[in-house]
Structure 1
């Protein structure tokens, strides 16, 4: 939860009175302050001279009064700058929850700076929370297969269990899980680096999908999901098959994970001749994704819900990596409205254009 600047900032908050806050520009506020202080000083000097004061006495008194008015009116301007300074110092100390108190009626440059600062602080807080979540998630995801592997190997070493094919297959499953996690982390590092090399080749898209879906059907095991394909024949496109296989494996695997046993997942493919793209819709029937959650699910380490209030398994990286792989090819992945269920639409250009 974000909190305003506190403790040593309390005095600054008491100074948020801004008599000149009606102006939309800091320059106008300063000009108005200068004109107002000058007018008061001139009127006071004229008044004192009219009543017989000496010029040598009236001038200092007038200057003191003008400086006092300027100081009083400028407190509202400088207080906000002090709040920004204190918030920046708190953020430099690692407190990303700090926020500058906002006056919604302020539209001058300092007010805009405060809004931008708060937006930056929110982004940094989100990034810091993601870093913490990443450490927690990766630690958990690594600990689970490593603990299982250690227990199985120790039991075999102590002679408690025999190295039967079933036990060895369990060890293989855990090593595969570790390998998948490491691959996810490597992809995440590529995403952070903002670049990845692509090996572009021409291929038949229908055959590519067949090869991609076959291991997913085998891995689906006893869930009895039916992956139905409706692919227009003769679609040929250019791209990196390894990256695209990663894209479609993650999207279709996500659809299978969130589909009840015995249901179908539909993969529809058609060409958009107008835009020169191949459009694939992956639909798992029955379930829906709320419109307000459709952008969040592509953020790193955000896990979907397998039931009310229940997070699904996995690393929370699959969909973000899928979108990254699509964007590497100049395409995109998004959730679209579909009465049938959750519909992930993948749009990819047929011809690869070097960046």
Structure 2
């Protein structure tokens, strides 16, 4: 069954697009719902800010009477005359509206007083300024108090002409100037009812501290409240019915316009996310395709192929790592081929000598004498040593070299091996000196001997007759080190770099004549690593090669 593949670029495109689509849909939906739900409350809160003076006046009234019912009743009883049958009910219902009128007149007076205090200097405005001053004087003389809201009225209410019809202060002033006989006798204030241009009075209601209705316009709608405070205690609430309703024509028209705008924003957002996700998917697709092609080249064995992804992100890091991997694989492949070639060459030489000697004996050219058998045995020994070194080196590189660790004093092993090599030093006409001290190390004594044999044998092969080999030790709190220095032949920097590689010989003809396989130093380095140490090479102060062998000391617990 074939499963349809979905490319990663398409997945990225769809993921970004759908995520943006969902977020935009939810966000705009919540915004529209929240706006439609809370818009009327917002408008009511804005209107409530215009009632600060009214709330302040109501708190002052309550502070005097300590009860809303007492306050209303006491202020109605301030009116002179005989009340009609329904006058008390009318005034009770009208009391909050009257307090609102008083707050409007007080605010009107304060605002216009500030304007009149900074008169213009243009001659054409002088007459207007005088009229404004006269108007303010009329309002000030008839400015009501929240403690006497019905000042200017008398019972019965039917005797008060046009008292419940709103008038503008300017109209009242003009009326007073036209007919001075209508001015209130005995210095009483003229009753003025302010026009309610915002329509707030018909939506006001008063509640006590327990949210029980007192006066005003009762309603079941979701009204806005403002607390009335006296001495930091809530004594009542001023309620305001919202001017807008979700079902009003104005609200429906407003939200329909907002909905069109939101749909437009939604469409533009969708288009922008479509373009952005497409560009983003393309941006990631190209380097991923290059990485895929590069890995395919590696699987084909083309290790010299390099991937070019100029990105400062994880994809760029991945391309660099793949290029590094390709270089390492190429080096390993080259090393493997060189290993096979060197191994076959090293095995071919003694085998060819053995074959020639055996064929010579078969043809009767050479006689099977003890000397000829000894020569053949030397070739077999060389093959055995070569195969053993190859086996040890392969185990060491595979981290499978067995080491039997024990407490060893390495200096005693060195002194013993130097003593064993003295005949060879004398035969090569070399001077050897050894000076040092031991330490208590965890080593495989046989493997350590193998390293020293290789180092001493290497010095004998590459030191000219009459030369010197010097062995000494150093140590600190962490490491014990032994140095093997010899005199010329010296080595170049390039030769030092290659030293320790398999089958590498500084002088191939000289090594073959002395029986070297080219594996001794490489094997010694691997054995040192297996025991936790390190073998390094440098130029010797004597002019030849310095071999430095270091091992960590035991940590006392």
Give 3-state SS (helix, strand or coil) of 1:303's partner: coil
Distance 1:109 1:172, change over 3 A: same
Alignment of 1:1-355 (within 5 A): 63=271, 71=278, 75-103=282-310, 106-202=311-407, 205-213=410-418, 224-232=428-436, 237-270=441-474, 272-275=475-478, 277-289=479-491, 294=496, 296-299=498-501, 301=502, 303-306=504-507, 315-336=517-538, 338-341=540-543, 342-349=545-552
Give 3-state SS (helix, strand or coil) of 1:298's partner: coil
Separation of aligned partners in 2, 1:219 and 1:311: 16
Higher relative contact order (CA 8 A, sep 6+): 1
Q: Deviation string for 1:125-178 (max 9, x for gaps)? A: 111111111111111111110110111122223321123343222212211110
- The answer on whether the counterparts of 1:145 and 1:174 sit within 8 Å (CA) in structure 2 is yes
Distance 1:164 1:234, change over 3 A: same
Between structure 1 and structure 2, the one with the greater Rg is: 2
Separation of aligned partners in 2, 1:100 and 1:263: 53
Q: Deviation string for 1:309-347 (max 9, x for gaps)? A: x99655543222111211222211112464433211111
Give 3-state SS (helix, strand or coil) of 2:507's partner: strand
TM-score using structure 2 length: 0.46
- What is the count of residue pairs matched by the alignment? 295
- The answer on whether the counterparts of 1:265 and 1:284 sit within 8 Å (CA) in structure 2 is yes
How far the C-alpha of 1:249 sits from its partner, in A, is 2.0
- The answer on whether the counterparts of 2:361 and 2:367 sit within 8 Å (CA) in structure 1 is yes
Give 3-state SS (helix, strand or coil) of 1:98's partner: coil
Q: Deviation string for 1:66-118 (max 9, x for gaps)? A: 75776567545322211111110111122222111253xx3211111110111
How far the C-alpha of 1:293 sits from its partner, in A, is 6.0
Equivalent residue for 1:18? none
- The answer on whether the counterparts of 2:415 and 2:434 sit within 8 Å (CA) in structure 1 is no
Distance 1:96 1:327, change over 3 A: same
How far the C-alpha of 1:230 sits from its partner, in A, is 1.8
Tell me, which stretches of 5 or more residues in structure 2 are unaligned?
Answer: 1-11, 21-262
Tell me, which stretches of 5 or more residues in structure 1 are unaligned?
Answer: 1-26, 36-54
Q: Deviation string for 1:253-306 (max 9, x for gaps)? A: 333333334322222234x2522x43211112245555576554334x261433
- The answer on whether the counterparts of 2:464 and 2:489 sit within 8 Å (CA) in structure 1 is no
Give 3-state SS (helix, strand or coil) of 1:179's partner: helix
Separation of aligned partners in 2, 1:93 and 1:187: 32
